[in-house]
């Protein structure tokens, strides 16, 4: 967010079955998900049985036991293999100053710098986010995505909220009238944010979106009111991300302490480290082929 008013393993099917009176012949077929489940750069085949006599030369007891041993060995290796052979990743950050926070850390490491230290050898991170951007402007940033990008992270909504700060001090004749004004804000943001996420999905890459953390305003009354106001934006972010099966980095659970922000609304070095941890976890663990949204709350919740 820019300057402005203060608001803010392995599950492998049994590779054989007993068919008829004899042992089966094991015939490999493409693995169900078509991805490396062994962590060794090898696709583990889903073995489909074909009925045959147990005395067949191709389906004797020796081949049966050998196939079972291979499957058992594969199931025992994925964790160590994955650690030794991590794929190279190129994570691109889009959005606002939640990710583009260099101007607020007084020469300390910004979010993208801290992220780079958390990635496997050969991986990289690129900063495309621009301080002060609203959701509609982030759509333009997406057009600059590098051709070799493998993961996208988007932070938007904080500056959209800042543009509506004056609503919090306006008078209203009734609660219904006040809610009606907030509904208009919600509808406009939903339109802008939905279009942004449609563009993100169109890239066809694993993607995560960030919620907006609560502003750490010095006045506790203002802090409470601002937190309530942000629910309009965060509800939209979580709903639209879930509808598209995108990962969610919930900054409300990550940046919860005063030390996490350098100003009431900008990440500090400490907060940036927590954000970088969550992004690295997303890049390592999220699988878009599962077709569901996942929440990455980061480590050290409540600290």
Domain boundaries, the chain: 25-83, 87-296
Give CA–CA dist 47/31, Å, rounded: 8
Q: What is the pLDDT of residue 3?
A: 46
Mean of pLDDT values over 102-116: 97
pLDDT band at 201 (very low <50, low <70, confident <90, very high): very high
175-202 helix and 135-142 helix, angle to the nearest 10 degrees: 0
- pLDDT of residue 71 exceeding 80, the answer is no
* Arch. (CATH architecture) of 87-296: 3-Layer(aba) Sandwich (3.40)
Q: What is the pLDDT of residue 79?
A: 35
Locus of tokens 């709903």: 239
* HSE toward the beta carbon, residue 189, CA cutoff 13 A: 28
pLDDT digits (tens, 9 = 90+) for 250-269: 999 999 999 999 999 999 99
pLDDT digits (tens, 9 = 90+) for 171-182: 889 999 989 999
Residues near 157 by beta carbon (within 8 Å), at least 6 away in sequence: 135, 189, 193, 211, 212, 233, 234, 236, 237
CB 58, CB 66: distance < 8 Å: no
- pLDDT of residue 70 exceeding 60, the answer is no
- pLDDT of residue 86 exceeding 50, the answer is yes
Q: What is the pLDDT of residue 166?
A: 83
Mean pLDDT, the chain, as a whole number? 78
């Amino acid at each position: 967010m820019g300057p402005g008013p203060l608001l803010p393993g392995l599950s492998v099917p049994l590779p054989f079955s007993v068919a008829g009176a004899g042992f089966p012949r094991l015939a490999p077929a493409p693995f169900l998900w078509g991805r490396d489940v062994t962590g060794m750069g090898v696709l583990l085949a889903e073995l489909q049985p074909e009925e045959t006599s147990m005395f067949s030369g191709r389906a004797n007891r020796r081949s049966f036991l050998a196939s079972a041993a291979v499957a058992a060995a594969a199931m025992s290796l994925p964790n160590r293999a994955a650690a030794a052979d991590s794929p190279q990743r190129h994570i691109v950050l889009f959005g606002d100053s939640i990710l583009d926070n260099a101007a607020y850390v007084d020469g300390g490491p910004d979010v993208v710098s801290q992220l780079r230290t958390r990635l496997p050898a050969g991986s990289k991170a690129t900063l495309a986010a621009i301080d002060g951007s609203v959701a509609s402007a982030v759509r333009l940033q997406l057009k600059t995505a590098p051709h070799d990008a493998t993961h996208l992270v988007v932070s938007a909504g904080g500056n959209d909220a800042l543009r509506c700060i004056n609503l919090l001090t306006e008078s209203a004749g009734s609660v219904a009238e006040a809610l009606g004004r907030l509904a208009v804000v919600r509808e406009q943001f939903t339109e802008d944010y939905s279009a942004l996420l449609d563009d993100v999905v169109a890239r066809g890459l694993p993607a995560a979106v960030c919620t907006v953390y609560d502003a750490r305003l010095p006045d506790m009354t203002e802090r409470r009111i601002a937190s309530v106001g942000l629910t309009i934006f965060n509800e939209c972010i979580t709903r639209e991300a879930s509808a598209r099966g995108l990962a969610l980095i919930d900054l409300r659970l990550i940046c919860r302490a005063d030390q996490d922000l350098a100003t009431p609304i900008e990440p500090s070095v400490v907060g940036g480290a927590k954000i970088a941890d969550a992004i690295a976890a997303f890049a390592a663990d999220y699988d878009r082929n599962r077709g569901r949204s996942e929440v990455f709350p980061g480590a050290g919740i409540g600290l």
